[in-house]
Amino acid sequence: MISTISNMLIPCLVCGIILYGVKHKVDVYDVFIEGAKESFPMIKSMFPTFLGMIFGVNLFLNSGILEFLLEFLNPILEFLKIPFDVVPMAVLRPISGSSTLAILNHIFEVSGPDSFIGRLASIIQGSTDTTFYIITLYFGCVGIKRIKYALWAGLFADLIGILASIVIVQLIF
């Protein structure tokens, strides 16, 4: 039932917008084409910052820094009884949302969504954000150059979200 509703939501929304435009005698197609034309300068301004972010993420993931960091943190994680499989997700979450979704999916496939690690990973996914993506893309598009405090505030919020997730899941589950 929910799957059917979610599959029909966007087509119904598009049809609703078209019907609204027809009812108010708006040339929906021409307005759509005009909006698409106006989007090209925005895409052109976003592309360099987006390309730089993708380059930085790939450099980080392929450099081996993540593996080194995980090996360094392993004794501490074992002492605190934090599952090792959730750490890559916690480390990558401020950098890349799609990679953490892939890690979350893997955790669900291996351990299940109702397991301790599945719940912990879900809460980390929901309580943190892709800080570097937000700062790189949004701040870069509007030309904000001084990002130091926003970066530190975003990373601190991510850290608090991760730590709170660990504490809450250990207390409740």
What are the pLDDT digits (tens) for 6-23?
788 989 999 999 999 999
Q: Does residue 163 lie in a domain region?
A: yes
Running DSSP on this structure, what letter comes out for residue 137? I
61-75: burial string, b at 16+ Cβ within 10 Å, e else: beeeebeeeeeebee
Backbone angles phi, psi at 26, to 5 degrees: -105, 135
Q: What is the mean pLDDT of residues 142-158?
A: 90
Q: Does residue 18 lie in a domain region?
A: no
Q: Does residue 155 lie in a domain region?
A: yes
Q: Does residue 17 lie in a domain region?
A: no
| pTM of the model as a whole | 0.68
What's the total number of domains in the chain? 1
Q: What is the mean pLDDT of residues 129-136?
A: 88
Question: Tell me, what amino acid is at 19?
Answer: L
Q: Does residue 29 lie in a domain region?
A: no
What are the pLDDT digits (tens) for 91-122?
889 988 888 998 999 999 999 999 999 999 99
C-alpha 112/C-alpha 159 separation (Å) is 25
Q: Nearest Cα to 81, choosing from 172, 166, 168? A: 166
Q: What is the DSSP string of 11-35?
A: HHHHHHHHHHHHHTT--HHHHHHHH
Q: Nearest Cα to 93, choosing from 153, 133, 151? A: 133
CA distances from 53 to 8, 11, 100, 132 (A): 34, 32, 16, 8
Q: Does residue 161 lie in a domain region?
A: yes
Q: Which residue segment(s) compose the domain that 68 sits in? A: 64-172
**Which residues does 95 contact at the CB level (< 8 Å), separation at least 6?**
57, 60, 130, 132, 133
Q: Does residue 97 lie in a domain region?
A: yes
Q: Does residue 47 lie in a domain region?
A: no
Classified as helix, coil or strand, 115 is coil
Q: Give the pLDDT of residue 79.
A: 87
Q: Give the pLDDT of residue 44.
A: 83
